[in-house]
């Protein structure tokens, strides 16, 4: 038998068997029409998952980090000013990338565990009367702290300040698992990767560009070659890449989009919400606190759980790996050793989640924390036993059919 358990790291996520098979392909000529038959449906699918009618979608052999670089280098020039909140390790890393590219980052320091404060963005943008800020960056879901930020509010702040900057959103751990509205939120560049909500192996950077962001590409002076979307755009028109595409992953991406759209995006989001509610109930059952400071910040794709002062949260992750063969996420940066993370995005059911919660519970008891066996699991079970409420819009469509 296989001793493989589901993983509960916040990416890479568990892969459905059908997606694994779709990625496992014989070699094909990546300049043949056959490749175009795989590429274009994947692009169409991603556009729908991002809730956009017209975004230009680019898929690079890379990861989410390459998507960050694609956003920056195709739109900005050395010395350009950008605005970004830092509220965890991932926003920190994107800021670091901006700085290493010679951009001038105006950082809004935000407590780890809090979401983006749109009022602070608005104040910074209103003060920028000369419109020096060229782009506003936002981490939709801060995977290090399990904090979701309100991107619609960021857009409203930009509009209230009447500021023309572009809006770049890191949706690596939200797109495909939590609501993301490229068009409605006026997103200019959205960034994600293959190994989180899309349930694929790592290896793709997936980005969406608005018409306004596309218009910036000619004037942008940051050096770029591999991530130049102009080369990509020309090649796509010929069903090809400027170099060798990750053919199997693109085939898998096409299927992943089909699966998400067939389940119904609203149902996918509802499933993640229900699973996350069970996790949060378990955390309450254990008498522990979420790293996310308030319910409005709770993420439905990852929970960071604080352990009591003086206890090393990382020991839970190590113990789960060595004794039970199950993977959870460690705390990163400022919250290293203070939190452990439970990833609950991608291909996941209530029953799978219960196995993860039961395992963490055993680890905490093993390690001498004051937690009672069954306390968290029972709290989650109560959530999962409640009748499932289908999204009203989806129900209405079903009734009409
Ligand atoms: C995982 C993640 C990234 C980095 O993606 P890689 O694919 O590891 O390069 C960036 N931002 C967020 C929010 C993430 O969760």
Q: Report the pLDDT value the prediction gives residue 388, as an integer from 0 to 100.
A: 76
Measuring CA to CA, which residue among 185, 149, 164 is closest to residue 298?
Answer: 149
Q: How many CB atoms within 10 Å of residue 177?
A: 33
**139 within ligand 1 shell (Cβ under 6 A):** yes
Q: Report the C-alpha gap between 243 and 217 in whole angstroms.
A: 20
pLDDT digits (tens, 9 = 90+) for 160-184: 999 999 999 999 999 999 999 999 9
Q: Report the C-alpha gap between 374 and 29 in whole angstroms.
A: 54
pLDDT digits (tens, 9 = 90+) for 382-401: 999 998 765 555 555 555 54
**174 within ligand 1 shell (Cβ under 6 A):** no
pLDDT digits (tens, 9 = 90+) for 57-75: 999 999 999 999 999 999 9
**173 within ligand 1 shell (Cβ under 6 A):** yes
- Give Cβ neighbours of residue 54 (< 8 Å, ≥ 6 apart): 47, 183, 210, 211
Q: Report the C-alpha gap between 170 and 90 in whole angstroms.
A: 9
Q: What is the percent of the chain with per-residue pLDDT over 70, rounded to a whole number?
A: 97
The residue extents of the domains of the chain are: 17-261, 264-385
Looking at every residue in the chain, the average pLDDT score rounds to 96
Measuring CA to CA, which residue among 237, 266, 240, 193 is closest to residue 56?
Answer: 237
pLDDT digits (tens, 9 = 90+) for 2-61: 889 999 999 999 999 999 999 999 999 999 999 999 999 999 999 999 999 999 999 999
Mean pLDDT of 196-220: 98
Residue 195 CA: nearest ligand 1 atom is: 7
Q: 40 vs 23, 45, 58, 183, CA distance in Å?
A: 16, 9, 11, 20
Alpha helices in 135-294 (DSSP H): 151-160, 211-216, 229-237, 247-263, 265-286
Architecture of domain 17-261: 3-Layer(aba) Sandwich (3.40)
pLDDT digits (tens, 9 = 90+) for 320-372: 999 999 999 999 999 999 999 999 999 999 999 999 999 999 999 999 999 99
Distance from the first to the final alpha carbon of the chain: 44
**113 within ligand 1 shell (Cβ under 6 A):** no
Q: Report the C-alpha gap between 105 and 6 in whole angstroms.
A: 39
Q: Which CATH number fits domain 264-385: 3.40.190.10, 3.30.70.330, 3.90.1150.10, 1.10.10.60?
A: 3.90.1150.10
pTM equals 0.96
Q: Report the pLDDT value the prediction gives residue 401, as an integer from 0 to 100.
A: 45
**62 within ligand 1 shell (Cβ under 6 A):** no
Q: What spacing in Å lies between the alpha carbon of 225 and ligand 1's midpoint?
A: 22
Mean pLDDT of 269-273: 98
Residue 193 CA: nearest ligand 1 atom is: 7
In which band, very low, low, confident or very high, does the pLDDT at 286 lie, cut at 50, 70 and 90? very high
């Amino acid at each position: 038998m296989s001793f493989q358990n589901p993983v509960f790291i916040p990416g890479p996520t568990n892969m459905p068997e059908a997606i694994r098979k779709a990625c496992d392909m014989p070699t094909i000529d990546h300049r043949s029409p056959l490749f175009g038959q795989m590429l274009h449906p994947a692009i169409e699918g991603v556009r729908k998952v991002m809730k956009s009618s017209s975004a230009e979608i680019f898929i690079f052999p890379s990861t989410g980090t390459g998507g960050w670089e694609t956003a920056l280098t195709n739109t900005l020039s050395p010395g350009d000013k950008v605005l970004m909140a830092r509220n965890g390790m991932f926003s920190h890393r994107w800021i670091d990338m901006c700085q290493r590219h010679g951009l001038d980052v105006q950082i809004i320091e935000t407590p780890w565990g809090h979401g983006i404060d749109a009022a602070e963005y608005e104040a910074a943008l209103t003060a920028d009367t000369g419109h020096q800020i060229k782009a506003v960056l936002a981490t939709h879901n801060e995977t290090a702290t399990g904090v979701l930020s309100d991107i619609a509010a960021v857009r409203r702040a930009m509009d209230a300040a009447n500021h023309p900057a572009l809006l770049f959103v890191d949706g690596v751990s939200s797109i495909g698992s939590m609501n993301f509205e490229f068009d409605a939120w006026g997103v200019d560049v959205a960034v994600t990767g293959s190994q989180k909500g899309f349930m694929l192996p790592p290896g793709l950077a997936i980005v969406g560009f608005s018409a306004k962001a596309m218009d910036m590409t000619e004037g942008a002076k940051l050096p770029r070659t591999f991530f130049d979307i102009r080369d990509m755009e020309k090649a796509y028109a010929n069903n090809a890449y400027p170099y060798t595409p990750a053919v199997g992953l693109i085939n898998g991406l096409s299927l992943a989009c089909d699966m998400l759209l067939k389940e119904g995006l609203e149902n996918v989001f509802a499933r993640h919400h229900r699973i996350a509610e069970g996790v949060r109930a378990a955390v309450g059952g254990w008498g522990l606190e979420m790293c996310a400071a308030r319910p409005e910040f709770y993420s439905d794709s990852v929970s960071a759980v604080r352990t009591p002062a003086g206890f090393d949260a990382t020991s839970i992750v190590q113990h789960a790996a060595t004794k039970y063969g199950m993977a959870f996420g460690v705390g990163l940066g400022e919250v290293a050793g203070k939190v452990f993370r439970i990833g609950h995005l991608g291909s996941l059911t209530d029953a799978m989640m219960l196995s993860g919660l039961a395992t963490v519970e055993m680890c905490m008891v093993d390690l001498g924390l004051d937690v009672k066996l069954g306390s968290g699991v029972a709290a989650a079970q109560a959530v999962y036993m409640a009748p499932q409420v289908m999204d009203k819009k989806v129900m209405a469509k079903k009734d009409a059919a």
